[in-house]
Amino acid sequence: MTEANEYSHPLRLGRYRKPTSTFGKYDNARRFWEDHVTGVFLAPYLEKLLERRGERGTGLRILDLGCGVGDGLDLIQRIARSPGRGVGAARMELVPPGLLGEYVGVDINDDLLCQAEECYASASNVRFVRGDLSEGLPDEILSDHRSFDLYFTSYAMLSHFRDGEFLTILGDICRHAPERALFVGDWLGQYSYEWPRFWLDTPRADYFVDYRMSYLYDETERRTNEIPSFPLRLMTRDEVLRLLTQASEESGVSIHPLVTFDRSILTGRHTDTREYNPTSPPLRSAINSLLEPQTRTDLEQLLVDYVPRRGFDAVNRFYEGFFRATNDLVSYTVALLENPAHTERELSGLPQPPCLDPSPLRDSMGMMASLIGGLRSVDWGDARANLIEPALAHALEHIEIRMQQGLGMGHSLGVVAEIAKDVD
């Protein structure tokens, strides 16, 4: 089974059905955590881009590279504008259907493209193109002089390509793009908690590891079936910035990195499989359970006994501080649930993570205290399952967003960059 058709097998097993809840490609963590994190970091720059397009009176044009079944469009159309202050403000999507000029998805897998075309058959401004991106943008795209505003990748798609192949892709994008455009790139993070065995003390160009999508198979299937592996590139922020600089120099087009971000530090897919880190608790399953209605979660599954790896002092400092914060929040929530009258704990006296901004932990603890204290007299439904546990998930996500440093410590490492041809 080749790397390209490895995606077809779980598709035929139904693992790409939308939506799922606690297992599968579109589980709760994917829809309500991971996609939201991407949106948080992309939204400010996408909003500015839309303002420029609005002045011209034209719709947003998106090229989704490695589109699969069109997941990039679904993600982008669910990114919300900042609601402003107060819970009463209406939610507004940044890219409602009326603002979409055209979405073009490119992928090499015929099965995924077939499902994508079925999903979006009624959308006249959505189309899909088969193409092998290892050779750059498809001729069908390059020969069409209509440029795109957003050149988009997601879900570690760029980890399939060698550095030279990525430079070819980005070089084609630079030549094809208008005067101003956004590029969003996404690779597997080198220093993910999911795979400490793959960490390198010195970044290496074209660093690939054997990777299995075993998370799309249940535990029985993982034991009884031979799940093929294929090579994927692991990336750090320094390597991303190096490649962007090289692409800019080779193309003669300015590429300005705007932000890098780590996605899924706590919720990585392989925290459950333990395939590359046998010390990991089942964090993904626990987060999925927190976000599942009418389901109570064993909160002890969210506690991480971090085992540092010798020789990686900076990485260890981050994880020790990060997991101290998430453990403190979970333990505090458990204590409040056991005795909700004790909601006035002095937050300033809490142990603080070293070398990190402690305010996300204080904010999250204060929110959980207010929520649980306010629900003491509520006697309808299962308030813990339907109100408190989802709030805990969002509080943990808040810690991940605020404490992450965009270095390559999540399941994937994202970058948002501006392509600017109108700069001297």
pLDDT, tens digit, 9 for 90 and up, residues 172-192: 999 999 999 999 999 999 999
Model pLDDT for residues 137-174, shown as the tens digit of each residue: 999 999 988 999 999 999 999 999 999 999 999 999 99
Model pLDDT for residues 298-321, shown as the tens digit of each residue: 999 999 999 999 999 999 999 999
Q: Which amino acid, 345?
A: R
| pLDDT average, residue stretch 70-95 | 79
pLDDT of 279 reads: 95
CB within 8 Å of 218: residues ≥ 6 apart: 23
pLDDT of 85 reads: 52
The Cα-based distances of 145 to 67, 107, 189 in angstroms read 21, 20, 34
pLDDT of 359 reads: 85
pLDDT of 343 reads: 46
Whole-number Å distance between alpha carbons of 345 and 336: 10
Q: Are strands 254-263 and 412-420 parallel, antiparallel or unpaired?
A: antiparallel
pLDDT of 97 reads: 86
Helical axes 313-338 vs 359-374, angle rounded to 10°: 10
Residue 201, classed as helix, strand or coil, is coil
pLDDT of 58 reads: 76
Whole-number Å distance between alpha carbons of 254 and 247: 9
pLDDT of 3 reads: 54
The residue written with tokens 């403000």 in the block is 89
The residue written with tokens 């982008």 in the block is 76
CB within 8 Å of 270: residues ≥ 6 apart: 192, 194, 195, 214, 215, 276, 277, 280, 411
Q: 175: which 2 tokens? A: 């030549």
DSSP H stretches of helix in 78-162: 110-119, 139-142
As to burial, measured by CB atoms within 10 angstroms (0-12 exposed, 13-18 middle, 19+ buried), residue 98 is exposed
| pLDDT average, residue stretch 326-337 | 92
Model pLDDT for residues 197-231, shown as the tens digit of each residue: 999 998 889 999 999 999 988 888 887 778 888 99
Domain 4-265+408-420 architecture = 3-Layer(aba) Sandwich (3.40)
Whether residue 344 has pLDDT greater than 80: no
Q: Which residues does residue 261 pair with via DSSP β-bridges, in sequence order?
A: 414
More confident residue, 347 or 65: 65
Q: Per-residue confidence at 126, pLDDT binned at 50, 70, 90? A: very high
pLDDT of 354 reads: 43
pLDDT of 348 reads: 42
pLDDT of 377 reads: 74
pLDDT of 11 reads: 60
The Cα-based distances of 326 to 189, 322, 330 in angstroms read 20, 6, 6
- Of 322, 352, 5, 48, nearest to 182 by C-alpha is 48
The residue written with tokens 């399953």 in the block is 285
Model pLDDT for residues 369-422, shown as the tens digit of each residue: 889 988 877 777 899 999 999 999 999 999 999 999 999 999 999 999 999 987
Q: Per-residue confidence at 358, pLDDT binned at 50, 70, 90? A: low
As to burial, measured by CB atoms within 10 angstroms (0-12 exposed, 13-18 middle, 19+ buried), residue 207 is middle
Phi first, then psi, for residue 254 (nearest 5°) are -70, 130
Q: Which helix (H) or strand (E) holds 290?
A: helix 283-290
Q: Per-residue confidence at 349, pLDDT binned at 50, 70, 90? A: very low
pLDDT of 245 reads: 98
pTM listed for this prediction: 0.90
Sketch the domain layout of the chain as residue ranges. Answer: 4-265+408-420, 271-403
Q: Which helix (H) or strand (E) holds 130?
A: strand 126-130
- Of 211, 218, 260, 269, nearest to 29 by C-alpha is 269
Q: Which residues does residue 102 pair with via DSSP β-bridges, in sequence order?
A: 61
Model pLDDT for residues 223-281, shown as the tens digit of each residue: 777 888 899 999 999 999 999 999 999 999 999 999 999 999 999 999 999 999 999 99
Phi first, then psi, for residue 65 (nearest 5°) are -95, 125
C-alpha neighbours within 13 Å on the C-beta side of residue 94: 24
| pLDDT average, residue stretch 14-41 | 84
